[in-house]
């Protein structure tokens, strides 16, 4: 791993939070992700199962976490399962974790090798009444591939058909949605790396630069600051490309007079930042660009002012939509007749703002968390309104990340330039 060692209290507290919610005399078993084939004899770079990481901090493949708070033997109340180090394999693929290293990362004292877990797991399960198994219940899940967690569920139910089973994912959605102060400290580091990178880009962008050259600068800046990787596919959309929400070709020339929408964030210590800024390629907004940019910034600031404990994402989105309607009337995108005759199921403002305003953020970019219950302290959200105008070949989005507090929220990106004036001044340098 490139990042510096994290405070193991992050993972110790996460396990305590999970076990406190488990049924009496139950066992929970979490398995790592598959190593996924690429082409030929190669595989994609391994990415740990988010729940396994949240509980242990372990990024190594073939790992498991077993939690059994009522195990009669205290030694086995929490267990980390790792692949046994193999001298020959390590010559090819690199060093694997030793016991003391894994203990220091996770705070779990009992380490068991994967090749010996079956003999231990069976008697533990015989002692338990209920088995918690994990699956991917992210609302945005798209893949239908039967991954290791689902295959493990099939195996366990086949071997132990008379046990009760419970969904670990249901608890994970509630728990991972609320970030501890220790988690936010790591998130802030990812944000800080992203800030340094953004400031660097303002000195680099100019007419004639290719989108992929900016992408190269982001990679260089991230890796030189110990980020693991970009948190998601980098979006560098100049000109009309900015209206494509997930534009990732990044192969166009940045032209004089155009804007460039940049959506990127660093992953550090397993946690993701998510920034969007839209800047003028030549360093100076035109009058119209500034008008639309300021309207978007107004929506951003308005959304931040109402994203507090107690509001639901549904109500929050509706309120931002009302404000967007007023802004779009003001800058000439909508007429009063458009609003009067709008379809309630497809509001008039949706022609120019056709995505959600916020999503949960954490170990996953689109992190686990409720979308129907009221917002709670401890949640971390993006705030990312946008304005996309086909007729003007213009797209603007402004995005920060906020941690919900008892009475409001804390902007983790508060030091990152956001106003048109700040951006122009920094690009002028």
State how far Cα 276 lies from the chain centre: 14
Residue 338 reports pLDDT greater than 90: yes
Give the C-alpha separation, 119 to 169, whole Å.
26
CATH code for the domain of 139: 3.40.350.10
Is the pTM above the cut of 0.85?
Answer: yes
Handedness of CA 399, 404, 405, 406 (dihedral sign): positive
Question: Cα Rg for the chain, rounded, in angstroms?
Answer: 24
pLDDT of residue 222: 98
Q: What end-to-end distance do the CA atoms of the chain give, in Å? A: 35
- Across the chain, mean pLDDT equals 96
Give the C-alpha separation, 358 to 343, whole Å.
23
CATH code for the domain of 293: 3.90.230.10
Residues 279-305 have a mean pLDDT of 98
Q: Same structural domain for residues 112 and 229?
A: no
Q: pLDDT class for 429, splitting at 50, 70, 90?
A: confident
Residues 99-124 have a mean pLDDT of 97
4 within a domain of the structure (yes/no): no
193 within a domain of the structure (yes/no): yes
Residue 422 reports pLDDT greater than 90: yes
2 within a domain of the structure (yes/no): no
Query: Which of 176, 196, 226 is the last residue in one of the domains?
Result: 176
pLDDT of residue 47: 95
Which region, left, alpha or beta, applies to residue 57 given φ > 0 means left and ψ of -120 to 50 means alpha?
A: left
Q: Same structural domain for residues 105 and 225?
A: no
Q: pLDDT class for 32, splitting at 50, 70, 90?
A: very high
15 within a domain of the structure (yes/no): yes
Residues 93-118 have a mean pLDDT of 97
Q: Same structural domain for residues 229 and 82?
A: no
In 3D space, the residue among 149, 73, 147, 150 whose CA is nearest the CA of residue 112 turns out to be: 73
pLDDT of residue 144: 82
Q: Same structural domain for residues 160 and 203?
A: no
pLDDT of residue 298: 98
Q: Same structural domain for residues 339 and 246?
A: yes
Give the C-alpha separation, 153 to 380, whole Å.
30
Q: Same structural domain for residues 133 and 212?
A: no
Give the C-alpha separation, 183 to 177, whole Å.
11
Residue 425 reports pLDDT greater than 90: yes
Give the C-alpha separation, 115 to 120, whole Å.
11
Q: Same structural domain for residues 424 and 366?
A: yes
Residue 301 reports pLDDT greater than 90: yes
pLDDT of residue 138: 86
Q: Same structural domain for residues 185 and 167?
A: no
Give the other-Cβ count within 10 Å of 177's Cβ: 21
Characterize 255-284 residue by residue with b for buried, 16 or more Cβ atoms within 10 angstroms of its Cβ, and e for exposed: eeebbbbbbbbbbbbbbbbbbbbbbbbbbe
Q: Same structural domain for residues 342 and 230?
A: yes
Q: Same structural domain for residues 249 and 171?
A: no
Residue 343 reports pLDDT greater than 90: yes
Q: What is the pLDDT of residues 395-406, one digit of tens each?
A: 999 999 999 999
CB 174 within 8 A of CB 370: yes
Q: pLDDT class for 1, splitting at 50, 70, 90?
A: confident
Q: Same structural domain for residues 116 and 256?
A: no
Residues 332-351 have a mean pLDDT of 96
Domain ranges, residue 94:
9-176
- How many domains does the chain fold into? 2
Q: Same structural domain for residues 230 and 286?
A: yes
Q: What is the pLDDT of residues 364-376, one digit of tens each?
A: 999 999 888 999 9
Residue 139 reports pLDDT greater than 90: no
pLDDT of residue 109: 98
Residue 74 reports pLDDT greater than 90: yes
Residue 200 reports pLDDT greater than 90: yes
Residue 89 reports pLDDT greater than 90: no
Residue 141 reports pLDDT greater than 90: no
């Amino acid at each position: 791993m490139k990042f510096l060692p994290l405070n193991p209290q992050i993972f110790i507290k996460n396990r305590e939070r999970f076990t406190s919610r488990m049924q009496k005399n139950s066992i929970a078993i979490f398995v790592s992700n598959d190593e996924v084939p690429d082409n030929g004899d190669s595989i994609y770079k391994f990415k740990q199962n988010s729940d396994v990481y949240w509980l242990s901090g372990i990024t190594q493949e073939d790992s498991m976490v077993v939690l059994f708070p009522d195990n009669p033997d205290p030694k086995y109340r929490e267990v980390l399962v790792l692949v046994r180090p193999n001298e020959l394999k390590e010559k090819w693929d690199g060093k694997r974790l030793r016991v003391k290293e894994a203990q220091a990362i996770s705070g779990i004292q009992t380490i068991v090798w994967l090749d010996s877990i079956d003999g231990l797991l069976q008697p533990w399960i015989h002692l338990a009444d209920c088995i918690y198994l994990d699956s991917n219940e992210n609302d945005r899940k798209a893949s239908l591939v039967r991954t290791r967690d689902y295959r493990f569920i099939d195996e366990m139910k086949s071997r132990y058909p008379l046990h009760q089973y419970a969904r670990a994912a249901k608890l994970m959605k509630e728990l991972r949605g609320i970030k501890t102060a220790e988690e936010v400290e790591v998130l802030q580091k990812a944000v800080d790396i992203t800030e340094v990178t953004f400031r660097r880009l303002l000195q680099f962008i100019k007419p004639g630069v290719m989108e992929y050259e900016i992408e190269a600068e982001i990679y260089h800046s991230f890796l030189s600051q110990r980020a693991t990787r970009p948190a998601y596919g980098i979006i560098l959309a100049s000109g009309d490309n900015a209206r494509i929400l997930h534009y990732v070709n990044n192969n166009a020339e940045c032209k004089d007079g155009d804007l460039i929408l940049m959506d990127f964030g660093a992953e550090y210590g397993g946690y993701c930042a998510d920034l969007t800024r839209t800047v003028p390629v030549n360093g100076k907004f035109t009058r119209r660009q500034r008008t639309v940019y300021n309207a978007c910034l107004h929506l951003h600031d308005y959304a931040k002012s109402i994203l507090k404990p107690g509001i639901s994402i549904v109500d929050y989105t509706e309120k931002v939509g009302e404000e967007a309607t007023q802004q779009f009337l003001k800058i000439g995108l909508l007429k009063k007749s458009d609003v009067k005759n709008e379809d309630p199921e497809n509001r008039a403002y949706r022609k120019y703002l056709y995505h959600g305003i916020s999503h949960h953020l954490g170990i996953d970019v689109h992190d686990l968390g409720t979308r129907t219950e009221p917002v709670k302290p401890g949640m971390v959200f993006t705030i990312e309104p946008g304005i996309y105008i086909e007729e003007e070949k213009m797209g603007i989005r402004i995005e920060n990340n906020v941690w919900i507090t008892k009475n409001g929220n804390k902007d983790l990106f508060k030091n990152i330039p956001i106003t048109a004036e700040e951006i122009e001044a920094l690009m002028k340098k």
